[in-house]
Structure 1
Amino acid sequence: MTAFTLPIPVRPRWPLIALASLLAAGGGWYAVAQLAPGDRGVPPIDSSSNYEVTGVQVDVAGKTADEARTAAWRIAQRKGWKILWGRMHGLGPDAAPGLPDSTLDSIIAGIEVESEQVGPHRYIATLGLLFDRARTGEMIGSGTSTPHSAPMLVIPIQYGGAGPQTFEARTSWQKAWARFRTGSSPIDYVRPVGNGPDPLLLNLGQARRPGRLWWRSLLDQYGASDIVVPEVYLERRYPGGPIAARFVARHGPDGQILGSFGLVATSPDGLDKMLDQGVKRIDELYVQALNGGDLHPDPSLTIEEPDAPADDLLPTTTDDPLASVISGIDQGSQSSATIQVETADVAALDQAQSALRAVPGVQSASVQSLALGGTSLLSLSYDGALGPLKLGLQARGWRLEGEGASLVMRRAGPAPAPSPAPPPGQPKP
């Protein structure tokens, strides 16, 4: 018997030499970490917040493959529009009004092919459609029955073999949230990129911090009103084998659990697809909590400002409401706030800004986040207390709700109708 000796592979020594040189230069592990610049930060892929409709199935025959594909995409646009309209109004797709193909071509931002089978005379596919939010919002209208949440700061936490991670490195869970299109969700997610100070400010320790003082500073810095912490626990059965995941949806600074579920990927190649599905199901949990009234901002996260005394706001020397507003303004103090206002179209946004700028004491009312067909954010700077501002808007047909730096601006409802006069001969009630 002849014995064979397998050659031992020799690894190149240049990585070790380079590592030793960096350590010897006094840089330590900090210098080693600088070898991989840009390893943090995953910006959201769809920053336009387009409306998304997925799972539209088509099966069309034609004289040629191109003709069948073109006809199938036309049919998918019509189906997608009806599904989107019904979703936003809480009705069935059959109740949606029809639109001509030329109009649908102008509002479609893109078509994604989830799966397709192309034959010589037939086209079978499952498609996803993206609708431009600015153009589609005007056609959907403002009478949607779906409520919208306050801005929610997202801190995704992934538990795995390396321990819990948020923005310390690019995790698969963070990438899944960056791929998620939030335009079709009533939850207003504020997704940090993960670079700059994000790894230091938004980490596991902060997600478990019960104190409200630091939370208020962070929420004001990121333009949010509350926090959601989606978590995923990954368990790899063996190298190259299935990956089990447990998803948990938390809300608020106290980490209230709104729901949990489990998914399994048969191989590492299916990890991204499983995480994308997990993000959609966690979004459904948050939407259910919003509809049930459990996703409202924590009152302890709002910095309350004392209102001016009633005698200063409503003097008895005049009956003019605007004069009372002017007299109640303190010219020596300046405040800022973020106002949420529903903007069905550009005209609604202009009306809200005009009403704010017309109130005495308002310095500026600029657009911080534009969402036509949804809820936009206005950055307001004004002099004085919050009470005179509310009265000034009320005199112009608007209602301002909330306290502190996060407010909601709505149209004031119609005045109640006067009670009818009693018929002659009967005493007045």
Structure 2
Amino acid sequence: MIQTFSLTPALRRSAVLAAVLAGLCALGVVVWAQVGGERGIAPIASSSDIEVMGIEVDVRAESGSAAREQAWEEAQRKAWARLDGPSLSDSQIAGLVSAIVIERERLGPKRYIATLGVVFDRQRASRYLGAAGEATRSAPMLLLPVTISAGTQMVYEQRNPWQRAWAEFQAGQSRIDYVRPAGAGGDSLLLTYGQTGRRSRTWWRNALDQFGAADVLVPIAQLRYTYPGGPIEGTFTARFGPDNEYLDGFDMTAASPAELPAMLERAVVRFDRIFTLALADGKLRPDPTLNIGTPELDPALQRLLDLGRALRAQERAAASASQPTAESGDAITAAPIQTPPPEGSVALYTVQVATPDAAAFDGSISAVRGTLGVRSTGVRSTAIGGTSVMTVSYAGSIAQLADALRARGFTVRQGSNALAISR
């Protein structure tokens, strides 16, 4: 016989409370897991020196040290030839070299086999190379290296080989001005794979402003592990801008997991070449729709607005002049017309914005930035479903700012040095 049991109301309330507490504890663990743990790889300091990598040498000599010395001299000559430099002696070329980078080497009793890189000092080498490498660089580009593997997409949520390859890339001689976040702290929450699918210019502008960038580059590495310890197939895609525009793509294969870092290093170099060609073709220009600053009005419309303000000021002055003073019946003189502050004279005000949803946030921020007289804005806190706070640099008094916002369709409440607005 099956026995059934029913909970009393007191026991039922206890069970519900226990479930709620367990859920909160689980939520706390999830939130901690999003921002905790070891993450972030600081990018290396970029040098403007001229690097020539991947030079292979194989030299035999009376000793291993002599073979190494001769191999390094040979690598310097080969690197100089790759740069199409003029004919120089070995001692002159050595005087231009600032470092030798050992990628791989094997040293025997009388033989030296290695793959080397040669770094030339740009200041000393430029007099022989002319303006080579001095081409105009791109605008600052925020880098979002995406790794797709086993059905997951990752950017900075945890350390990964693709992030490390970009952090260790020597970008000083590249024409692309990369802005490479370390990925620590809040970077992993702000810069995610989901961000690459956003189309809101306001969201993108806020993210780019955090890092001083003008636009975004998205190099995607999709890795497929054939079997444990086996080859790794990589499909690489270069995308650009808030609309995720496709630039180019290619495939590579690493023979084993041990070869994966080397494959990713080669992929980074190839991505840099793709971005450089896109810059030369005029494709890598910052999206003008990301510039959501104060719009410029047509000069004729601006003159009409100025004339309207002057007429309103005269009417207020005439109304003030027609009112008698408390001491005599004589009319007082017209009040002085308040003129806008001189060019460059601005004040900073705090504006609280009701943002019940993401669309309201986008629309309100854009409307405030487009208000006449607003020089710049900054979002101090974002609260979707609540009240966001921003700072507004405005050429005028807070009362004038309130009037300008009302003209934009806002309901405005004015405080001593702050405004609260809503739609």
Q: Which residue of 2 aligns with 1:64?
A: 63
Mark the CA change 1:292 to 1:36 in structure 2 (over 3 Å): closer, same or farther.
closer
Q: 1:148, 1:252 → 2: CA distance?
A: 17
Aligned mate of 2:86, from 96, 100, 113: 96
Q: Is the contact made by 2:48 and 2:172 (CA closer than 8 Å) also made in structure 1?
A: yes
- Residue 228 of structure 1: CA displacement? 0.3
Whole-angstrom CA distance in 1 between matches of 2:191 and 2:128: 39
Amino acid at match of 1:235: R
Q: Deviation of residue 246 (structure 1)? A: 0.8
- Assess, with a 3 A threshold, how the Cα gap between structure 1 residues 288 and 277 changes in structure 2: closer, same or farther: same
SS at match of 1:164: strand
Structure 2 counterpart of 1:184 = 173
Task: Describe the superposition over 1:377-422 as per-residue Cα deviations: whole angstroms up to 9, x where unpaired.
Answer: xxxxxx99xxxxxxxxxxxxxxxxxxxxxxxxxxxxxxxxxxxxxx
Which residue pairs with 1:300 in the alignment? 289
Question: Structure 1 residues 36, 329: CA separation in 2 closer, same or farther (over 3 Å shift)?
Answer: closer
Q: 1: distance between equivalents of 2:25 and 2:121?
A: 50
**Residue in 2 aligned with 1:156?**
145
Distance 2:233 2:126 in 1: 39
Q: Which residue of structure 2 lines up, in the alignment, with residue 424 of structure 1?
A: none
Q: Taking structure 2 as the reference length, what is the TM-score of the superposition?
A: 0.59
Asked if structure 2 preserves the Cα contact closer than 8 Å seen for 1:114 and 1:127, the reply is yes
Residues 213 and 58 from structure 1, CA distance in 2 versus in 1: closer, same or farther, beyond 3 angstroms? same
Instruction: Judge conservation of contact 1:147–1:291 (CA < 8 Å) in 2.
Output: no
Measured in 2, the distance between the counterparts of 1:38 and 1:134 equals: 43
Alignment of 1:284 onto 2:273: yes
Q: Over residues 181-225 of structure 1, what are the superposed CA-to-partner deviations in whole Å (9 max), with x where a residue is unaligned?
A: 112321111110001211111111211111111212222221111
- TM-superposed CA distance for 1:75, in Å, is 3.0
Aligned pairs (5 A) from 1:147-296:
147-161=136-150, 163-296=152-285
> What residue in structure 1 maps to residue 41 of structure 2?
42
Q: Higher relative contact order by CA 8 Å / sep ≥ 6: 1 or 2? A: 1
Root-mean-square deviation (CA, aligned residues, Å) is 3.7
Paired amino acid for 2:245 = Q
In structure 2, do the counterparts of structure 1 residues 333 and 230 end up closer, same or farther at CA, with 3 Å as the change threshold?
A: same
* SS at structure 1 position matched to 2:224: strand
Of 274-283 and 38-47, deviating more is 38-47
Can you list the C-alpha shifts for 1:277-299, whole angstroms capped at 9, x where unaligned?
A: 22122222111211211111111
- Contact 1:50 / 1:181 at 8 angstroms: preserved in 2? no
Deviation at 1:310, TM superposition (A): 8.4
- Determine helix, strand or coil for the equivalent of 1:271: helix
* Aligned counterparts of 2:46 and 2:181: Cα–Cα separation in 1: 12
Write the distance in 1 (CA, Å) between the matches of 2:89 and 2:293: 48
Structure 1 letter corresponding to 2:255: T
Task: Tell me how far apart the structure 1 counterparts of residues 135 and 216 of structure 2 sit (CA, whole Å).
Answer: 21
**TM, length-normalised to structure 1:** 0.58
Aligned to 2:418: none
Counterparts of 2:299 and 2:88 in 1: how far apart (Å)?
54
Query: 1:261: Cα distance to partner?
Result: 1.2
Amino acid at match of 1:330: E
Residue by residue over 1:343-363, the C-alpha shift from the partner in whole angstroms, topping out at 9 and shown as x without a partner, is xxxxxxxxxxxxxxxxxxxxx
Tell me which moved more, 112-121 or 219-228: 112-121
**Percent identity among equivalent residues?**
42
SS at match of 2:164: helix
Point out where structure 2 has 5 or more consecutive residues left out of the alignment. Answer: 1-20, 303-340, 349-393, 396-423
Q: Which has the larger radius of gyration?
A: 2
Asked whether the equivalents of residues 74 and 101 of structure 1 are also in contact (C-alpha less than 8 Å), the reply is no
Residue 74 (structure 1) aligns with? 73
Q: Supply the distance in 2 between the matched residues of 1:229 and 1:270 (Cα, whole angstroms).
A: 23
Q: Check conservation: 1:229, 1:249, Cα contact below 8 A.
A: yes
Q: Answer whether contact 1:229 1:251 (CA < 8 A) is retained.
A: yes
Give the match for residue 394 of structure 1. Answer: none
Which stretch has the larger CA shift, 273-282 or 253-262? 273-282
- Matching residue of 1:128: 117
CA contact (8 A) 2:97 2:118 kept: no
Could you tell me how far 1:72 is from its partner in structure 2? 2.1
The answer for the alignment partner of 1:331 in structure 2 is 344
Q: Tell me, in whole angstroms, the C-alpha distance in 1 between the residues paired with 2:255 and 2:133.
A: 40
Contact kept in structure 1, 2:60 and 2:111, CA below 8 Å: yes
Equivalents in 2 of 1:45, 1:144: separation in Å? 20
CA distance in 2, matches of 1:119, 1:239: 34
Residues 234 and 124 of structure 1: is their aligned pair in 2 closer, same or farther, counting only changes over 3 Å?
closer
